[in-house]
């Protein structure tokens, strides 16, 4: 099956909408309190700034690779092409291997967050919560079971809901007249020492999770119109827009609620709106947050479903995943498999565990590996080979690698799980090759 079977219909607006809906999701609404609790002071805003800076730096790596290899699968192609024939095969296999675990974790995290936030509207028991998260995943798969033109339109509709909600939250804080107070007091009691550095690292694991998704457009590279222009633009627009929205949202909440309440709240945005406008408004904003969580699962599942397809089409993964739907022209086997595994994960995991596991699973291969791959590619092919060139190369690449190493170390015991998954993948790769060589 040729790459041309995926058609280029996604515009810059639609690509940006897909990125931003993936980025926002349930993350910032459930992570806001966690970040504040870890930092334990008005300087918790620094964790959100750190997340934005890392995303900007890392997006430069994605832009160089995404514009040079604008095909379905994103990182699968980047790793395969960057490292050359032998190492590239191993790295791309490891990426698909960890994607089959971490992609369903990402989808499940948004669905679990959706169910958790539903409890503000209606108290749910353990199994009722699981039923809600499972139903979200089933509905997402149903909505994605259609052609890319329709999906592009659905994405823009979901994105509008995201923007309306964020503007309402930020506007509510501004209207109180104390919007700038958290910024004025951001350094009250601040001391830069090892304790702060450790807290910033742990908090950044959570804030970075809320920015993930800025690269989703790269997984859809084979369906983007004018990818050399639109892939970098959609990423940088998405990161800039989301960074402003996150910072303003955190400042708004901190301008209205005391820090102690923010740190302990499970429904901080709903409580924030309730204090501003009463219980009815709080119920409405909760429904809108659920809309955002749903939109995030939609975008993430869409992007990830293209990765096993790309690997299978390339002969590096099970052939069945290379199948496109006979009339709607999308990788339906890949979509159904990831949705099924995500459904199972949503039954067994808690949200905090999933967030840390997601980063631990993907940092080594996808983020650090990909950045090293870009350095290798430039050495092998020269700077003129890439279609978009970052300023100050290779400084941003080296910075990205160092920061990702620090974030990886901050995942704690999950770091060991990430390493174990990678080592198991290496073992399976060589066993598979030995078996294939024997035939």
Identify the pLDDT of residue 5: 60
CA 156-158-163 angle, to 5 degrees, is 90
Closest CA to 106 of 321, 381, 297, 377: 297
Q: What is residue 382's predicted lDDT score, i.e. its pLDDT?
A: 94
pLDDT value, residue 3: 41
pTM metric for this prediction: 0.83
Q: What is the rounded radius of gyration, in angstroms, for the C-alpha atoms of the chain?
A: 21
- The CA angle 148-151-156, to the nearest 5 degrees, is 130
Predicted local distance difference test score (pLDDT) of residue 174: 85
Q: pLDDT tens, 306-319?
A: 888 888 888 887 78
Give the model confidence (pLDDT) of 123-165 as tens digits. Answer: 888 899 999 999 999 998 888 887 767 777 887 888 888 888 8
Those residues with Cβ within 8 angstroms of residue 126's Cβ, 6 or more apart along the chain or in another chain: none
CA–CA gap between residue 132 and residue 15 (Å, rounded): 28
Residue among 344, 354, 322 nearest 335 (CA): 322
Query: For the domain 10-438, what is the CATH code?
Result: 1.20.1740.10
Residue 297, Cα to own-chain centre: how many angstroms? 10
pLDDT at 21: 80
For position 177, what pLDDT does the model report? 65
Successive 10-residue mean pLDDT values, the chain, 439 residues: 62 88 81 91 90 95 95 88 92 89 86 89 90 92 79 80 87 81 82 85 86 89 90 96 92 92 91 92 91 80 84 83 85 91 87 77 91 96 94 96 90 87 91 78
8 Å CB contact between 141 and 339 = yes
């Amino acid at each position: 099956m040729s790459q041309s079977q995926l058609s280029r219909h996604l515009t810059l607006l639609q690509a940006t909408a897909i990125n931003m809906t993936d980025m926002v999701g349930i993350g910032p609404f459930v992570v806001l309190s966690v970040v504040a609790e870890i930092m334990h002071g008005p300087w918790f805003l620094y964790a959100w700034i750190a997340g934005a800076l890392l995303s900007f730096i890392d997006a430069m790596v994605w832009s160089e690779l995404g514009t040079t290899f604008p095909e379905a699968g994103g990182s699968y192609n980047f790793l395969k092409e960057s490292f050359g024939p032998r190492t590239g095969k191993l790295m791309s296999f490891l990426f698909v291997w960890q994607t089959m675990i971490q992609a369903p974790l990402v989808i499940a995290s948004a669905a679990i967050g959706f169910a958790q936030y539903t409890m503000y509207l209606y108290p749910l028991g353990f199994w009722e919560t699981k039923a809600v998260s499972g139903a979200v995943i089933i509905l997402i798969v149903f909505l994605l079971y259609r052609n890319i033109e329709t999906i592009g339109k659905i994405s823009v509709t979901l994105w509008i809901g995201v923007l309306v909600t964020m503007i309402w939250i930020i506007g509510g804080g501004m209207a109180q007249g104390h919007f700038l107070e958290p910024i004025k007091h951001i350094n009250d009691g601040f001391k830069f020492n090892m304790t702060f550095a450790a807290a910033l690292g742990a908090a950044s694991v959570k804030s970075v999770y809320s920015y993930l998704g800025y690269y989703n457009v790269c997984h859809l590279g084979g369906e983007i119109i004018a990818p050399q222009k639109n892939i970098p633009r959609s990423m940088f627009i998405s990161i800039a827009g989301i960074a402003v929205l996150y910072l303003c949202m955190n400042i708004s909440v901190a301008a209205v609620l005391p820090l102690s309440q923010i740190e302990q709240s499970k429904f901080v945005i709903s409580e924030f709106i309730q204090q501003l406008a009463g219980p009815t408004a709080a119920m409405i904003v909760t429904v809108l947050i659920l809309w955002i969580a749903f939109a995030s699962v939609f975008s993430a599942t869409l992007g990830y479903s293209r990765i096993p397809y790309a690997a299978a089409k390339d002969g590096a993964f099970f052939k069945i995943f290379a199948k496109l739907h006979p009339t709607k022209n999308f990788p339906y086997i890949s979509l159904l498999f990831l949705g099924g595994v995500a459904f199972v994960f949503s039954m067994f995991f808690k949200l905090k565990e999933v967030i840390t596991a997601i980063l631990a699973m993907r940092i080594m291969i996808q983020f650090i590996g990909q950045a090293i791959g870009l350095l290798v590619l430039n050495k092998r092919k020269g700077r003129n080979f890439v279609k978009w060139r970052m300023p100050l190369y290779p400084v941003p690449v080296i910075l990205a690698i160092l920061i990702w190493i620090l974030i990886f170390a901050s995942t704690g015991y999950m770091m060991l799980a990430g390493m174990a998954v990678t080592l198991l993948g290496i073992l399976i790769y060589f066993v598979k090759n030995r078996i294939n060589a024997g035939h």
